Amino acid sequence: MPNLTSFQARLGYSFQDAALLQLALTHPSVAHEVDGPKQHNQRLEFLGDAVLQIVLSRELYLQFPHFDEGPLTQARAKLVNRHALAVHGRALGLGEELVLSRGEEINGGRTRGSALADAFEAVVGALFMDGGFDIARAFILRQFSANLGGLEAEPVIDNPKGELQELLQAASPHAPEYRVVSATGPDHNRVFECVVLHQGIELARGTGQNKRAAESYAALHALAALRSPGAPETVVPPPTPLP
């Protein structure tokens, strides 16, 4: 296990329980190379994701008082997507501190974006468990201050359908499917409603003035639902099959 003194300095916090930080840096791959059960960082990752969501949701709510759920959800998803979290992990030097299996080490696990993003969330979870909400919140705001300050007046996600596909296919080989379920209004002002499904199960719906916009909003609402606190770690959609 590496000496974590310098890493804690980069975090701006000294852990009372250093084992929590060690756990946050332990990749799940190590469980396959030891005799008996071996703890790793997935539980802390789950917790850290929830803390990130609530802290950043509050900041966006305060920063954009005139925008409704749609733009706020887009901004939050842009801040916490896997690529963005991996960037924060690299900036902290997380890769150097990870505890990996031999196979994961050989295959470039220290620089893998998914491993860095997961470890970043796990570190947030460890900060929350060791220091409480205020400590975790202060760390998150330090990390995201530039991102929050650089958001546009009405934040947007460049590719919500692509982000949803990436999230779903991390746990399943199946891609999401989009269906238009209704089109209402006069020809010059149509409103389309679209549903997004995964393995035949409805994830979310969205509306827009064309099919593409409706699909994008459906993907956006699905991302928000799957990343909300209490959503399962693996992608298991709610049991609402569409006929």
| Catalytic annotation, residues | 49, 121
Sheet bearing 191-198, strands edge to edge: 177-184, 191-198, 201-208
Closest CA to 193 of 204, 203, 201: 204
In the beta sheet, which residues pair with residue 207? 193
How many CA within 13 A on the CB side of residue 175? 5
Gap between the Cα atoms of 41 and 47, Å rounded: 10
Integer distance in angstroms from the first to the last C-alpha of the chain?
53
Q: Is the dihedral of CA 204, 206, 210, 213 positive or negative?
A: negative
Amino acid sitting at position 210: N
